[in-house]
Homo-oligomer: A and B are copies of this chain.
Amino acid sequence: MYPKPEIPPGTLDMLVLKTLARFGPMHGYGVAKSILQTSDDVLRVEEGSLYPALQRILRKGWVTADWVAAGPKRRARVYHLTREGRKQLDAELSEYRRVASAIERVIQPA
């Protein structure tokens, strides 16, 4: 078992893409914070999960990334959802809901 499988395998990309869709372009750290807050502190995306995920969806063309100044001597990378990313998000959302509702049918009754 995962020690604390806060992020169910297979859902991370969806959560990241959805967050960018909701709140617009933001940097990686902001995405993690946003997911944590929106989920009421349940979904804690570790950095070791977040950045590989961002690299992955960047390579797939679902987001673009721009370096911006985040202070006098600091840099941050702002991620922007692409049209492809939006399509991917929609696909992942409907697949997630399809499976989630199937699980509900199995576990619903007392």
* Residues A1-23 near B (CB distance < 8 A): 1-2, 5-6, 8-11, 14-15, 18-19, 22
- Interface-lining segment among A34-42, A65-73, A77-85: A34-42
A interface, CB within 8 angstroms of B:
1-2, 5-6, 8-11, 14-15, 18-19, 22, 35, 38-40, 42-43, 93, 96, 98-100, 102-103, 105-107, 109
Cβ contacts under 8 Å, A100 to chain B: 100
How far, in angstroms, from A22 to B107 measured CA to CA in the complex?
9
Nearest chain B CB to A84 CB, angstrom units: 16
How many protomers of this protein does the assembly include?
Answer: 2
Cβ contacts under 8 Å, A2 to chain B: 9-10
